[in-house]
Structure 1
Amino acid sequence: MPQYPRPSITSAVNRHSNVVLPTPPVATRKRKRGHQYTVSYSEVQEFDQEGRLREVIVIDDTPPPPTASPATTNHTAGYSASYQPPQYSAPIRTRARAAAEAQAMSSSTSSTTLPLPAPKKRKREGDVETGTIAKKAAGNAQLTVTGAGASSQWNNTNGVTSAEQTAAQPACDDKEGHYIVTPDDIIHKRYRTVRLLGQGTFGKVVEAFDLKTGNRVAIKIIRAIQKYRDASKIEVRVLQRLKERDPMNRHNCIHLLEWFDHRNHICLVSELLGMCVYDFLKENEFAPFPRHHIQAFARQLLGSVAFLHDLHLIHTDLKPENILLVHNDSRTVPIPTPGKRNAPPRLKRILETTDIRLIDFGSATFQEEYHSNVVSTRHYRAPEIILGLGWSYPCDAFSLGCILVEFYTGIALFQTHDNLEHLAMMEMVMGKMPERFGRAGARSKPEYFKEGNKLDWPKPKATKQSKKEVRATRSLQEIIPPTDIINRHFLDLVHKLLIFDPAQRITVRDALNHPYFAIAVPLEI
């Protein structure tokens, strides 16, 4: 399948040591009181090459895309960049295009609702910041429902429109078009609501009891606003493709049981799973996972994403929030506190099973279709996206590299909300930007460079705190010390996933054949 140049896997791993060491102890992290960030959504306008207006939902921590022809993807060449001119066929109804057809918000009175869970926050070594995402389909709910099911049509089959049906029934929406979740509410004459699991920009996720099968399920209820209803059709289309190509779910992507229209709300039903990996890390005080768990997670994630890429799909929003544990079962073990002689040991939760599911395909994009300028959550965003060079399959590989490092350390690799600072941190972690990639970036974003292709950091306006945090960023070899053969192979794999130039980045399919996965990692805590 034409994707992008596949570099040969030349392992730089030292094979002379067979010593197996336990997971290095994690020093107590000092909580810094840094910047407080608030990330919110905004809608910006883009014009494609043919002059069609599109609206795209982006997060406000980055400058909005310019109102110009966006960098797009060349399907035959694979790596999409500004120096590969975009090719468009017939207009495609994507999430970005659907957002441009937004209609007036329907509002109605509210009734008693279930209490909303506390908003999910991402630690910044002690500080908090909201980890929101461009083009989200259900926010960072504890359970995000995606998948493919069967339903005859979007509207009711009795000839009554959704608006007419809603008008004839008691109000069920709040003023923002979210469905008002109440205990023991019956949805679609089949599902009895149990509790609210989470809420995002595009809707809510609830736990419900299936009166037909006796099982508990998760239902994502899309807001009763036309642009979100239209956008949900894109997600259903993707999920139908996934289930059609993998009916036995061997690739660990969540499957829908069905979808339907309930009182002007598109509802997507899936199996009820455990918490997301980020929530587990948070409840575990951001303690790293054992190395044998990291290997199991890595194998599953690379397999899931390779399956997507084989279907010409790019997830574009890989992060721990979009990885669900199948089971939350864990045991608690005491861990000695390093550096404190008589301090009581801290407790660490160890998962009993490492089965996971990849979720939230609301931002997934087919390779041959329209690519928005800005995708991915900030912490996992590839450099080619920041530099406006276009993006393709390799951006998923970069996100996976960031995720694997986070599994190893317990905290996000890049904790920033500024593009130039982000690129400076990348150079601290990954080494200097290659000359060819830097020249391309300088042509696209000259404000980030000086003397041709050198990153212009620090700018005179950079704060002392920003400079300090960039200087404190460790190299990849310092983060993952090559103390034994396991770490050396793991370091080599992550290094290949985090290469600046996407044309040189390892593909997820090739990554599955990396020597790291041939090692039997011993059980550790």
Structure 2
Amino acid sequence: MMSRLLTIRNVLRNGRSRSSPTRASSTLSAIFPRNNSPEPCHRYEPGGYHPVTAGEVYNQRYQIVRKLGWGFYSVVWLVQDLKDQRLAAMKILVGDLTTAGKRGGWDELGVLKVLQETNPQSSGYRHVCQLLDEFTHQGPNGNHVCLVLEAMSLSVLDVYCALPDAMPLPLLKRVCKHVLRALCYLHEECGIIHTDIKGDNILMTGPPPEEGQLNIEVDDDYLMSTTFKLSDFGAANFMSNRFAEVIQPESLRSPEVIIGAEWDTKADIWNFGCLVYEFARGSKLFDPHWANEKNKMNPTQTHLSQIAGLCGEFPSEFLDRGKKSKIYFDDQGFLLKGAGQYSITLEDLLIRAGHPSKDVSEISQFLSLMLIVDPRERWSASRLLDHSWLNNVN
């Protein structure tokens, strides 16, 4: 595990509050870890990772520079495009994902092609990390789909971790508007649900940090002019093929997914609403593992209790759609465990971040439209883009 120092200069803030557009001369520095731990060696096996060496050229065009990261199903490499003389990120998928019978509905390449081809003129198109090229490479562990993507800079999570608490609201509004544009494109034009929206999947335009670079400096001009893009579509589902039963990071999981009801694009809205709150507050909205042993509750019971305490009781018509509802709710729609244990409002929570009361009222009202229990009532990305909280945000 290697750590880097991210310095943010002239952060938009006024004292403790980060919501004022007045610039103050300030420098914030924070150490944030970068996971440079190697991928598991045992995954270099038939059907697993493809062995790569720096300097190798793939598809007679892409020369390996260095590793950017890895996941269970892929390793991502920084490459030099020898044709266009630009950097790109090449994601080499495990061999098993090239075999149709082992993909289990997964189709990252298909998702990326739809995002690439549907409507390049859409306002949301430029807020999606786009596929540049793709090919299949034959190696000792099988055939591997290789996805060549835009090379990007830091993530929003990197910036958030470098701040001492909440994110400045002018910056948060830009992140919000850009991601909602991306979601509007995904949902309404492409019929795609991302299912995994988190801070490290929202990236900023610009070159990746240099290898071994321990000091990274960004300022307001960069943060307020860069383009934020939604990335990593490895867990995305088509509306026409919602193959995944459980989606989303646990604490960001939507009520419909928790109770086993049918989910759609509105699951992304709930997921993103929880993330926006986290950036605005400086802490998570829901914690399914909070005091479980003390309260003799499991994570799902705790999560549902916290949601009900913030958003109100679950509508009976909504619970009727859930295959798991009777595990957690009685016939009258009340929680079997944890009812009334939590009771708080978004305003109560957000005022603790030190934002002025007027700003707290505005962002709370905006978030409340994303955090509606019944997805049929939850606002869409396009409606949220027209909300007054995002007026005059570029």
Q: Which range, TM-score by smaller chain? A: 0.7 to 0.9
**Paired residue for 2:191?**
312
1:305 Cα deviation (Å)?
0.5
The aligned amino acid for 1:301 is V
**Paired residue for 1:76?**
none
Q: Is the alpha carbon distance of 1:352 and 1:489 closer, same or farther for their aligned partners in structure 2, counting shifts above 3 Å? A: closer
* Superposition pairs of residues 21-36 of structure 1, within 5 angstroms: 22=14, 24-25=16-17
Q: Is the alpha carbon distance of 1:217 and 1:438 closer, same or farther for their aligned partners in structure 2, counting shifts above 3 Å? A: same
**Paired residue for 2:333?**
453
CA deviation string 1:383-402 (max 9, x = no partner): 01100111112111111111
1:188 to 59, 84, 94: 59
* Superposition pairs of residues 200-349 of structure 1, within 5 angstroms: 200-226=71-97, 231=103, 234-247=107-120, 250-251=123-124, 252-263=127-138, 264-282=143-161, 284=162, 287-310=165-188, 311-327=190-206, 330-331=217-218
**Paired residue for 1:355?**
227
1:414 Cα deviation (Å)?
2.0
The aligned amino acid for 2:232 is D
Q: Is the alpha carbon distance of 1:200 and 1:447 closer, same or farther for their aligned partners in structure 2, counting shifts above 3 Å? A: same
Separation in structure 2 between the aligned mates of residue 233 and residue 427 of structure 1, nearest angstrom: 33
Contact 1:195 1:208 in 2 (8 A): yes
**Paired residue for 2:246?**
374
Does the alignment pair 1:117 with 2:36?
Answer: yes
Secondary structure of 1:480's counterpart equals: helix
Does the alignment pair 1:365 with 2:237?
Answer: yes
* Superposition pairs of residues 345-494 of structure 1, within 5 angstroms: 351=223, 353-416=225-288, 418-438=299-319, 440-441=321-322, 444-450=324-330, 452-458=332-338, 475-481=345-351, 483-494=356-367
Contact 1:486 1:516 in 2 (8 A): no
Separation in structure 2 between the aligned mates of residue 438 and residue 458 of structure 1, nearest angstrom: 17
Contact 1:116 1:199 in 2 (8 A): no
Separation in structure 1 between the aligned mates of residue 325 and residue 316 of structure 2, nearest angstrom: 15
Secondary structure of 2:66's counterpart equals: strand
1:499 to 368, 372, 379: 372
Separation in structure 2 between the aligned mates of residue 286 and residue 185 of structure 1, nearest angstrom: 42
Q: Is the alpha carbon distance of 1:476 and 1:206 closer, same or farther for their aligned partners in structure 2, counting shifts above 3 Å? A: same
Q: Is the alpha carbon distance of 1:204 and 1:509 closer, same or farther for their aligned partners in structure 2, counting shifts above 3 Å? A: same
Separation in structure 2 between the aligned mates of residue 247 and residue 507 of structure 1, nearest angstrom: 21
Higher relative contact order (CA 8 A, sep 6+): 1
The aligned amino acid for 1:419 is T
Secondary structure of 1:225's counterpart equals: helix
The aligned amino acid for 1:220 is K
1:174 to 35, 44, 61: 44
Separation in structure 2 between the aligned mates of residue 400 and residue 385 of structure 1, nearest angstrom: 15
Separation in structure 2 between the aligned mates of residue 293 and residue 453 of structure 1, nearest angstrom: 40
Contact 2:319 2:325 in 1 (8 A): no
The aligned amino acid for 2:336 is D
1:286 Cα deviation (Å)?
6.0
Larger Rg: 1
1:447 Cα deviation (Å)?
1.8
- Percent identity between the two aligned chains: 27
Secondary structure of 1:454's counterpart equals: coil
Q: Is the alpha carbon distance of 1:227 and 1:447 closer, same or farther for their aligned partners in structure 2, counting shifts above 3 Å? A: farther
1:497 Cα deviation (Å)?
0.4
**Paired residue for 1:69?**
none
- Give the TM-score, by structure 1 length: 0.57
Separation in structure 2 between the aligned mates of residue 514 and residue 250 of structure 1, nearest angstrom: 17
CA deviation string 1:233-272 (max 9, x = no partner): 8221221111112335742111111001112211000121
Unaligned runs of 5+ in 1: 1-20, 27-114, 121-172, 334-348, 460-466
1:296 Cα deviation (Å)?
0.8
Secondary structure of 1:414's counterpart equals: coil
Separation in structure 2 between the aligned mates of residue 255 and residue 210 of structure 1, nearest angstrom: 16
Contact 1:222 1:228 in 2 (8 A): no
Q: Is the alpha carbon distance of 1:195 and 1:216 closer, same or farther for their aligned partners in structure 2, counting shifts above 3 Å? A: same
Contact 1:186 1:192 in 2 (8 A): yes
1:501 Cα deviation (Å)?
0.9
Q: Is the alpha carbon distance of 1:350 and 1:484 closer, same or farther for their aligned partners in structure 2, counting shifts above 3 Å? A: farther
Separation in structure 2 between the aligned mates of residue 286 and residue 406 of structure 1, nearest angstrom: 13
Q: Is the alpha carbon distance of 1:491 and 1:226 closer, same or farther for their aligned partners in structure 2, counting shifts above 3 Å? A: closer
1:364 Cα deviation (Å)?
2.1
Task: Tell me how many residue pairs correspond in the alignment.
Answer: 334
Separation in structure 2 between the aligned mates of residue 504 and residue 192 of structure 1, nearest angstrom: 49
Secondary structure of 2:88's counterpart equals: strand
- Give the TM-score, by structure 2 length: 0.75
Q: Is the alpha carbon distance of 1:234 and 1:451 closer, same or farther for their aligned partners in structure 2, counting shifts above 3 Å? A: closer
Contact 1:330 1:352 in 2 (8 A): no
Separation in structure 1 between the aligned mates of residue 61 and residue 204 of structure 2, nearest angstrom: 26
CA deviation string 1:315-355 (max 9, x = no partner): 2222222111214874479xxxxxxxxxxxxxxx9835442
Q: Is the alpha carbon distance of 1:175 and 1:399 closer, same or farther for their aligned partners in structure 2, counting shifts above 3 Å? A: same
1:205 Cα deviation (Å)?
0.4
1:188 Cα deviation (Å)?
1.9
Separation in structure 2 between the aligned mates of residue 247 and residue 491 of structure 1, nearest angstrom: 33
